Amino acid sequence: MNHRLHLHSFAVAVAVAVPLTLTLSAACGSPPPPAPPSAVPKAVSQSAKPIRDPADSDVPLDKRVRTQRLSNGLTYYILPHKKPLARAQLWLAVNAGSVLEDDDQRGLAHLVEHMAFNGTKRFPKQKVVDFMEKAGMQFGADLNAYTSFDQTVYQLTAPTDDKQALDTGLDILREWASELTFEPDEVEKERGVVFEEWRLGRGAFKRIFDKQAPVLFHASRYADRLTIGLPEVIKHAPRDTIVRFYKDWYRPDLMAVIAVGDFDPDVMEAGIRGRFNDLPARPRPRTRAEWPISHDHDLLVSVEGDPEMPYTEVEVYDKLDHRPERSLRDYRRVLVEALYHQMLNLRFEQIARKPDGPFKDAHSGSHEIGRTADVFVRGATARGGHASDALGALFQEVLRVERHGFSPAELERASKELLRRYQRDAKEYDKTDSSEFADEITRLYFTAEAMPGRDAELAIAQKLVPGITLEEENALARSTGRKGRVILVSGPSGEPLPSRKDAAEIAAKIEKTEILPWVDTAPLASLMAHVPAPGKLVKTRNVSEIGVTEWTLSNGVRVVLKPTDFQNDQVMVSGFSPGGTSLVPDKDFDSARFAAEVVNDGGVGEFDAVALQKALTGKIAHASAWIRELEEGIRADGSPADLEVLFQLIHLRFTAPRRDEEAFAAWKVHERDSAAHRLLQPESAFFEDMSSFVASHHKRRAPVTPEVIDKVRLDTALAIYKDRFADASDFTFVIVGNFELEKLRPLVEKYLGSLPVKARKESWKDIGVHFPKGEQQLSVVRGQEPKSFVYFARHAAQPWSKPVERDLHVLEMLLDIRLREVLREDMGGVYFVAVWADASRRPRQERDFGVFFSCDPNNVTRLKDAVVTTVASLQREGPGEVYLEKVKRQIARSQETDLRENHWWVNKLEEAWRFGDDPKQIIDIQPLLERVRADNIKVAIQKYLNSKDSVLAVLRPAKTPGAAAAPAPTNTYRRSAPRTRSMNAGTTGL
């Protein structure tokens, strides 16, 4: 049972036979009450064991999953799955994380994870990464890992049509399990990488969380085992101390091997057993303890301010013991909670849309915060200076439900939405990426969370959800917050925040106030009162080589269609037209840049945003407009079952934009508040200053300030929006997904063929944004952490051609590999490095090359020089054959998966029809592969990476960092998520 609530079909019969009634104690996670005497069969003797309620039995595992525990204690799971084709997820799950660290090891669980990529017995130094790159896989995307409080997971994607690569992938898992070498020179280099990860995570959010953690994790080991650890330990822990963690906790009884993908399960099972059967069990293993997170305490409050905090946040945590997710009774509890949060979140959303509302957004949810504890959490992003009001509003809405409950209509809508999600999940089972199931299996292994299969989960949900009552939902509202409550408040230190005493008293004050019932308005009947007169299909062109059809409609609209079977329940629509804000005069630009955002917030036709959401209950259909500098357009997606609704929404976005003064006033309040606080964060200030500098301070690249928001006018924005969507005759729509042409044609003719036309001959306009001339430098001095960001870019005019575009793409891939090796692996100077090299066709034909990384302020020059030296070396000597092979293989492997992704086809077809390219070239990668030659790359570097015009922009801290300073402990997060406040993970990755 993952967070998508999936259960197994075997349990359906039990659910049908045994009616479940969720009591208040069950909702709180307590044992169910004993059965009444009348429920005990008379034939049972006094000495017989009591009959267990079938609802409390563990839900059986999905029969497609093959699992076994070996004699040494290691468990394996095998699930055949063909999305993506010719790929396998090979994961090693280790039931050990930072909470198990000794006092002298804080941060070493994560360092050990890093060392797995820096040398094993069979794969010394970087050979693990090297081999996988040669197989066409990419570091980060296909080869990664993460460490959290309670666990460490290694993730490897291997091609299954290459036996050597697949076998070697399993060999790598075996090496990670027991053969890390911890070579001293590699340890020292990797300390630098991990320390740069620590550095990257520093800032206002981390400083505040460092203070909040001891309050949230009150009297728990979790409070002082945040995963990133202590800098002094990362830098100076003896090698033997690092190895001790590995030897103590990396052992077969704490490990699982997970294989999900396109393979023969018998062959995979033999491969796993053959490699892991002989993994020796530890003779006298340390006890793997479970550390409690106490909720046996009175209210605790943390109020923290920071001068760099860009917004105010309030959160209320109600802690309780971790509840299992194994049985039907557990499953019902999860459903009840899901409906409760869904209904409460919709109320929060309505409040946030009010211009005088106390918060900009709010949320309610429940999740783990550690292996032993769960929380109910309600949180809000408050308007500046309104932390107390936002906190009061959260308590008020929880109490409103407790006193008055939800309405039958709210529960009906929430139930319909929940069941629709189950239906989509079940329908998309075979088209869901293997990584989702691998992740689900990790939860099965670590916490015995049920994993029974999506078809059965749908069946159980269809049985249980209709029987969930308002009384159960209202009982749930009354069941939290009596013990173990924690209130966290944070915000800019220059603005008023409540005292701890005031924050503690807010709930008590709300308890004494009169709270009226929630007024739930009924949704309108249908989206469109009058169906438009359809247009006609007047021309058809087939591009059979790629399975694409082009229709031209009587109003001039072009429709590019590609039916696919890549997803079962998805159709994507993208419409675009030249023009954008470039055609708007400067005096109206501030309104133009936000026009689509403002109008989208207002709803469509007779429906404001809330009414529209209610009208779409149970439907999967979304459509929103956008206006960028050179184009305007529509992005939409939906289910094949809801295509008419989807096309109605698209039509309404063109023809019935809605003027909503209240929605606009709320938007303005929220955006002004965000603009006023955003630049408190050094990173935001740097990126805004840099963007303006790189654009030679063009007025249309100026930062968004409160004064800019003040200039936005609703009527001006609406007029610009209407003008941009007044003429569909130059629109092209790309439609990709699960549909049949003949069934789609009537909808296209009716809703796209009837769009308004003016037969204007328009194009975008070059507004004159130019890269600075000469060698330019920008230094932004902001922030108190010892952290720099470095942006180094070169730019030049460049006649565009396909060969130029291909050469730059190859250089980007090559430099991504080489600069990671040099700056991260060899120098230990960065956690990440981003590289880009591309050619643009509009508004002018130009080329760009750039590098971006974060580092120690004292290393800026050394690392920037290393970038220049690496590029010069490649220009002089060319890349070695191994790098050419890596780039070729990665191009080919990426193409294999891209060709079966709807979003990739949408983007490629957009580009072909936007510029008039030959669409047949989309699937032909041979011309690109032919550019991957050493002689060609040497010439390309000379031609495209040198330029007279360059920018070096550096963020430097306001304080000179002291080498001896030992910053407070903090937590960091996975590289794919710059900020997340899930207290469960404390996750750090590669």
pLDDT band at residue 46 using 50, 70 and 90 as cut-offs: very low
Amino acid present at 616: L
pLDDT band at residue 111 using 50, 70 and 90 as cut-offs: very high
pLDDT band at residue 959 using 50, 70 and 90 as cut-offs: confident
Q: What is the pLDDT of residues 303-349, one digit of tens each?
A: 999 999 999 999 999 999 999 999 999 999 999 999 999 999 999 99
Q: Assess contact for 860 and 954: CB atoms under 8 A.
A: yes
pLDDT at 56: 84
pLDDT band at residue 987 using 50, 70 and 90 as cut-offs: low
Sign, CA dihedral 633-636-640-645, equals negative
- Mean pLDDT for 945-959 is 94
Q: Report d(CA 861, CA 823) in Å as an integer.
A: 12
- Between the two ends of the chain, the Cα-to-Cα distance in Å is 28
Closest CA to 913 of 731, 653, 759, 757: 731
pLDDT at 765: 97
Neighbours of 44 (CB within 10 A): 11
pLDDT at 732: 98
Q: Could you tell me if residue 186 is left (phi over 0), alpha (psi between -120 and 50 degrees) or otherwise beta?
A: alpha
Q: Report d(CA 735, CA 457) in Å as an integer.
A: 31
Q: Is the pLDDT of residue 969 over 90?
A: no
Phi, psi of 243 (to 5 degrees): -60, -35
- Mean pLDDT for 414-433 is 98
Neighbours of 45 (CB within 10 A): 5
Q: Which residue has the higher pLDDT, 44 or 579?
A: 579
- Mean pLDDT for 935-942 is 95
pLDDT at 51: 60
Q: Assess contact for 870 and 816: CB atoms under 8 A.
A: no
pLDDT at 481: 67
Taking CA atoms, 657 is separated from 310, 355, 616, 709, 749, in Å, by 33, 20, 17, 21, 21
Strand partners, 22: none
Query: Over the chain, what is the mean pLDDT?
Result: 91
Q: Assess contact for 792 and 951: CB atoms under 8 A.
A: yes
Strand partners, 572: 637, 736
- Reduced to 3 states (helix: H, G, I; strand: E, B; else coil), residue 932 is coil
pLDDT band at residue 986 using 50, 70 and 90 as cut-offs: low
pLDDT band at residue 483 using 50, 70 and 90 as cut-offs: confident
Q: What is the pLDDT of residues 503-553, one digit of tens each?
A: 999 989 999 999 999 999 888 778 998 899 999 999 999 999 999 999 999
- Mean pLDDT for 394-422 is 95
Q: Is the peptide bond before 36 cis (omega within 30 degrees of 0)?
A: no
Q: Assess contact for 149 and 99: CB atoms under 8 A.
A: yes
Tokens 């089972």 belong to: 429
pLDDT at 474: 87
Closest CA to 535 of 729, 722, 721, 725: 729
Pairing of strands 66-69, 312-321: unpaired
Q: What is the pLDDT of residues 865-888, one digit of tens each?
A: 999 999 999 999 999 999 999 999
Phi, psi of 624 (to 5 degrees): -140, 150
Q: Which residue has the higher pLDDT, 988 or 17?
A: 988
Q: Is the pLDDT of residue 833 over 70?
A: yes
Per mean pLDDT, which range of 83-97, 132-146, 584-598, 956-970 is the poorest? 956-970
Neighbours of 42 (CB within 10 A): 5
The contacts found for 739-742 with CB under 8 angstroms, 24 or more apart, are: 739/561, 739/563, 739/571, 739/640, 739/643, 740/563, 741/549, 741/561, 741/563
Amino acid present at 67: T
Tokens 């037969």 belong to: 759
pLDDT at 561: 98
- Exposure string over 330-346, b if 16+ CB within 10 A, otherwise e: bbbbbbbbbbbbbbbbb
pLDDT at 976: 28
pLDDT at 479: 80
Radius of gyration, CA atoms only, the chain: 29
Side-by-side strand order, sheet with 988-989: 66-69, 75-80, 255-261, 87-94, 152-159, 143-147, 988-989
Q: Is the peptide bond before 324 cis (omega within 30 degrees of 0)?
A: no
Tokens 């120690």 belong to: 856
pLDDT at 194: 98
Closest CA to 402 of 508, 467, 476, 338: 476
| CA 62 from centre of chain | 27
Closest CA to 19 of 65, 67, 55: 55
Q: Is the pLDDT of residue 964 over 50?
A: no
pLDDT at 48: 46
Q: What is the pLDDT of residues 330-339, one digit of tens each?
A: 999 999 999 9
